[in-house]
Amino acid sequence: MTDRLNTHQRHYCMSHIRGKNTKPEILVRKGLHARGFRFRLHNKKLPGSPDIVLPKYGVAIMVNGCFWHGHKGCRYATEPKTNIEFWETKIARNRHRDEVTTAHLEALGWTVITVWECELRGKLESNARLDKLADEIRFIGESKIQQEAMRQQNRSMRRKLREEMIRRQAQLEAEIDLLFPIPTRIKKASLEE
């Protein structure tokens, strides 16, 4: 086993930014668009810049790669044979980030739906998942519309809460570094070159 990281690994070691415009993400976007939904992408004003948000419905969607986000019990989230320490740390970090980010978004009144890469494999499966997603969004949206009237009354409180969640989201990276430190030898290797 080698301690050296390839360019791809190093990139992930150094960055914590979610993969953007991935193939599964584009599938979800196209599917939602075809089903009549309009949405925003990677909204930086929300904790974790969720991949897709539908403000009208109060729904944020995360499109997760099974391997990178450690999809439990998924056959596509297979364990790599080399650099295990690196991958395990990376996946643990992503999982923790996903959980806390979801909690932050929920605190702001968003409902978070995770779509997994494996749910979009094959045209039939993919279409079924997207139909179900559309139903979920509409269902959540109906209760959100009722809540909206109440929320309008409390704009300044909502703004404060959003600022608080953004602040906590910023602390999350430091927390992840503490909980799941990147092994020193990998950190060293990643800084070479």
Which residues on neighbouring strands pair with residue 111, listed in sequence order?
A: 59
Binders of Zn ion among 145-174, rule CB under 5 A?
Answer: none
Tell me the two tokens of residue 29: 């976007």
E strand or H helix at 73, and its extent? Answer: none
- Contact string 108-147 vs Zn ion (x = CB under 5 A): --------x-x-----------------------------
- Residue 8 CA from chain centroid, whole number: 20
What whole-number distance in Å separates Cα of residue 31 and Cα of residue 63? 13
Question: Least CB distance from residue 141 to Zn ion, whole Å?
Answer: 26
Please select the residue that binds Zn ion; options are 9, 16, 74, 109, rule is CB under 5 A: 74
Binders of Zn ion among 1-60, rule CB under 5 A?
Answer: none
- Which of residues 100 and 118 has its CB atom nearest to Zn ion in the complex? 118
- Which of residues 76 and 139 has its CB atom nearest to Zn ion in the complex? 76
User: Which DSSP symbol is given to 182?
Assistant: P
C-beta of residue 12 within 8 angstroms of C-beta of residue 90: yes
Question: Least CB distance from residue 114 to Zn ion, whole Å?
Answer: 10
59-64 and 52-54 beta bridge pairing = antiparallel
- Which residues of the chain form contacts with Zn ion (CB under 5 A)? 66, 71, 74, 76, 116, 118
